[in-house]
Chains A and B, each alone.
Chain A
Amino acid sequence: MSTAVTNPRHGGEEEGAARSASLRGGGRAAGGTAVVARARQVVKAYGSGETRVVALDSVDVDIARGQFTAIMGPSGSGKSTLMHCLAGLDTVTSGEIFLDDTEITRLKDKKLTQLRRDRIGFIFQAFNLLPTLNAIENITLPMDIAGRKPDAEWLRRVVDTVGLSDRLKHRPNQLSGGQQQRVAVARALAARPEIIFGDEPTGNLDSRAGAEVLGFLRTSVDELGQTIVMVTHDPVAASYADRVLYLADGRIVDEMERPTADAVLDRMRLFPGGNPQTPDFDARGRTS
């Protein structure tokens, strides 16, 4: 139903300067297609017969290159499932998903693993890092697994961007929650994936640390030309995105360009029974 929207978001709070830089990101995208990931008629159902539950109901979605997309929706709307399917972590019941020209719904586990390793970055809500590896080892892990040498120049830039230069030798348990998520962001960025998926990346953080991480995500889109898809139920987090997709009952019901926290919150209130889902929603909304 939706189409790609490539024009970057202008204006907004404190990142005006960064925004203009994102034109470069758009320029990079111009080399390839404007759409980096596509879902066509994707159905994800669990069980069969009477117990059949449809999590995704013929979803069509295009993710624009160099854009920050947020997926929102009430609990059980299928937003996480959609992200997992797009990221090649979960299989679909029917339909097709493409990453560039690769139809990932057809790939076997081995190819899919390679695809995740080489072309996709991940930021989870929690437990993003291996406790036995230090920060820099965690950051370079996907490339190490692939047997690739990280681009030193790029790595330094990523590390500088997330502000971790003096913490690289620390183990995860020596880092704060916010720092850990920043390491996760750095890991996702370091391999220069075509697309980064975030599953409630700030869900476990207090509002200050959350804002910090979201700021870095925004910067990476604007300055590094990164494509990011983030699942969230936090209107403030969504307001960092260029575009918000709303899911309800496994379908995309709406989308919003250049969202603000208040606009997102207002839109959320329209969902049946879909109000602030989590207890910390209000607190976070207010403090931002």
Chain B
Amino acid sequence: MSVLKTSLRNFLAHKGRMALSAVAVLLSVAFVSGTLVFTDTMNTTFDKLFAVTASDVTVSPKNADLADETPDTGRPEALPASLVEKVRKAEGVQDAQGSVTSLGVTVVDAKNKNVGPTGGAPTIAVNWGPYELRSVELTTGHEPRGPTDVVLDRGTADKHGLKIGDELRTIAATGDFTAKISGIVDFKVTNPGATVVYFDTATAQRELLGKEGLFTQVMVDAVPGVTDEALKTDIAAALGDGYSLMTAAETADAGREDVAGFLDIMKYAMLGFAGLAFLVGIFLIVNTFSMLVAQRTREIGLMRAIGSSRKQVNRSVLVEAVLLGVVGSVAGVAAGVGLAVGLMELMSSMGMELSTRDLTVKWTTPVVGLALGVVVTVLAAYVPARRAGKVSPMAALRDAGTPADGKAGRVRGAIGLALTAAGAAALVTAARAAEAGPGSLWLGLGVVLTLLGFVVIGPLLAGGIVRALGAVVLRVFGPVGRMAERNALRNPRRTGATGAALMIGLALVASLSVVGSSMVASATDELDRSVGADFIVQSGTGQPIVPQAQAALEKSPGLDHVTEYKWVDATVTDPRGKTTKADLAATEPTYVKDLRREVTAGTLAQAYGPGAMSVGSDYASEHGVKVGDVLTVAFKGGEKAKLKVAAITADTGNVDNGAMYINITTLAEYVPADRVPQSLLLLASAKDGQETLAYQALKDALAPYPQYKVSNQADYKEELKNQVGQLLNIVYGLLALAIVVAILGVVNTLALSVVERTREIGLMRAIGLSRRQLRRMIRLESVVIALFGALLGLGLGMGWGTAAQKLLALEGLGVLEIPWPTILTVFVGSAFVGLFAALVPAFRAGRMNVLNAIASE
């Protein structure tokens, strides 16, 4: 019989056991291919969108950057309408149209509810023009005909139940205005979740740009036969400098780049988790093949006795691995497509609409998935395969039964200890690092080494830890517990590998929860120490605060003061002529009370005086700047100012680290009013004893502006906690994948152990062990293995988390907080994982026929 045939028969004979390993391969491959399909689909969606929306050449103002279409002022950079005529006269131009586009708007319905997406996609206000009709079709009602008409996209209308005649209020930096829905448009391509409102051109100009006769872009089409590039050159020649020109391809590239950053983060994060699932899957596969080889020792011995070479035996196991890899990967790629669709649904619910119409499966996806799945499986099966090759022909004659793995202990222990010690040293180095860069390298090294060390040393630790756990957990269950403990200890390598699979996932959970809760604790601590303001007002998406909202807030009763806080782009030149780019914090003198900053020199209050500023201690030491030195500050959209350094703030802590403060009145001297950025956030304090009243008043004042949120200190801390919690939950969700694979590993180990111990189980049943006791014994074994893995994982993870926190202390993560409730929950939860994993193996063991079991080989 050929090697392939033997392997195939073996593979089919062990379908059940292979199935669990195949699921592990499947999950990992599914994650990889799902990620690829998802990102490819996103790319397709955006490519199609850019392809229909872009004109041959787009003319924009010089300092409007496409990537950030909402400038700090909240008002888009504009071009005079006369430019359109100028462009039309250029050579090669078929047609040119002015367009008004603003992303700095919020649209609310009659109940003051934001109808736009609150994350991801933007809200876009545009003028109704021929260019828009390339991507949409008016399917209901009529186009906007006057200042009270607005047309809305179908997706938004459906989501919020809006219909013709409903009122929409658009909040722009230039003011609020209300219009009634006159029509609804359908997108011809997939609209990835943006809310789009259309106004007639005059209304759009007046309300979005402040006055008529302005456009934000000129969209140009070439006469047939003229390339976009040639047209661009011609228009440049006709218009001269001062404009930014982009061909359709360039516009699409810029748009794609904008999206790519977000996509890449997602892609790498998900591939990271896929890698983790693979890592855990490897343990499962190694364990499965080890057990299959052990069970088949006699059979392999016989093959060797009748003349199979080592190589042939070795190869037959590897061929089985290839089969497993292929089966798992093929199913994985298919599951990956399903996963991608699921992800798209998830993104839709989060406001990023994606359509299965654009589902893109490139040929590379199945190839990568299959290659990865097969290679990893075969690599994982290599060690067991080699062990199979080493089985001597004598094994055929010996009694069946699993060979014990006694030796290796000392070598293993030495290697494991060395790795763990080296890893621990690296972690300590990381914790003590004075600089973040090298520190994080040490941290990474420490994590990898300690993980490897624990994996190697796991089987040796199994003895002590299982016994200790047994003393606590199993004693209650008497002889059944004792037998469970002995069984778990019977093959420490197997218990170690099974536990290690669970360990990896839980170590990451523990370390991230330590970092997460330290983050919250540190931020809370810092808020308590430094923030004096009672309230903070900001938008959830980082949108600046429109003046009308600010005015409403300032009129609110019970307030002691309101402090504006703006960021201004500028270049700063030190006395020696060295120039750096910086965001200056332009605020009001009351800010000194709202945020307590330590100074190393000077007085911070004086920095708010005319012609004065402050710098951070890092900048000061780097540039040799002292109090009294004069810096040259060139404001974006304004003039150059010479400002005297009045204070140097200590660069410790998280808030406003390295900020250079100036007074808003100082800013106003050098920057024209329409170029002054909007406030990024507002801080406010109540008059003594009126905190509750003021808080409610601020909330009421903000009711028409749902994009902003006011929080008092307590709520703010809570929100911070929730934000971190949400982020952690997403990560935990993804880590659950690794844990699922680890559970499969526990199931597999137990199932195979039960098969191996068939005779023993028969004997125990014969001498009076009840089904219930038998099932309990197997469940307890499972629980002990799971708790063993959890203990190692949580211990390791807390070590990692602590080292990471000590390292991040450099970045202001000063407080270490171990989230004991989470850690304990995970530990107890892993006991349930063990119970769950034992369900099927225990059930099958209980169902065994006593006589057959005793008689089995």
Question: Which residues of A pack against B, CB within 8 Å?
Answer: 84, 89-90, 109-110, 113-114, 116-118, 120-122, 124, 127-133, 137, 141-142, 144-147, 187
Contacts and interface: CB of A to CB of B under 8 A. Distances in A.
Contacts of B850: 89
A147 B478 CA distance: 8
B490 A132 contact: yes
A145 B486 contact: no
B478 A131 contact: no
7 contacts: A109-B771, A110-B771, A117-B769, A131-B490, A131-B760, A132-B483, A133-B486
A45 B175 CA distance: 94
A56 B767 CA distance: 24
Interface in B475-512: 478-480, 482-483, 486-487, 489-490
A100 to B, nearest CB: 17
A124 B490 CA distance: 23
Contacts of B487: 132
A227 to B, nearest CB: 17
Given A127-B759, A132-B487, A133-B486, A144 B768 contact: no
Contact of A113 (B478, B486, B768): B768
Given A89-B850, A132-B490, A124 B763 contact: yes
B92 to A, nearest CB: 88
A113 B769 contact: yes
Contacts of A122: 766-767
A281 to B, nearest CB: 22
B763 A113 contact: no
A84 B767 contact: no
Given A89-B850, A90-B851, A141-B479, A117 B486 contact: no
A124 B855 CA distance: 10
B773 interface: yes
B597 interface: no
B770 interface: yes
A67 B480 CA distance: 34
Contacts of A116: 766-768
B767 A117 contact: yes
A89 B766 contact: yes
Contacts of A130: 483, 760, 763-764
Which of A84, A127, A129, A132 has the most B CB atoms < 10 Å from its CB? A132
Interface of B: 478-480, 482-483, 486-487, 489-490, 759-760, 763-773, 850-851, 854
Contacts of B773: 145
A171 B763 CA distance: 17
A113 B479 contact: no
Nearest to A118: B768
Given A84-B851, A110-B771, A132-B487, A144 B479 contact: yes
Contact of A124 (B770, B772, B854): B854
A113 B771 contact: yes
A110 B486 contact: no
A282 B619 CA distance: 102
A114 B478 contact: no
A129 B487 CA distance: 14
Given A110-B771, A124-B763, 15 more contacts: A117-B767, A117-B769, A124-B766, A127-B760, A128-B763, A130-B483, A130-B760, A130-B764, A132-B487, A133-B483, A142-B768, A144-B478, A145-B480, A145-B767, A146-B768
Contacts of B480: 145
Contacts of B483: 130, 132-133
B312 to A, nearest CB: 32
What 8 A-B pairs are tightest by C-beta distance, nearest first?
A: A117-B768, A132-B486, A144-B479, A113-B770, A116-B768, A142-B767, A142-B768, A127-B759
A179 B487 CA distance: 23
Contact of A114 (B770, B851, B854): B770
Contacts of A113: 765, 768-771
B771 A187 contact: no
Which of B760, B765, B766, B773 has the most A CB atoms < 10 Å from its CB? B766
A145 B776 CA distance: 12
A137 B483 CA distance: 10
Contacts of B854: 124, 127
A48 B216 CA distance: 91
A57 to B, nearest CB: 20
Given A141-B479, A145-B479, A127 B763 contact: yes
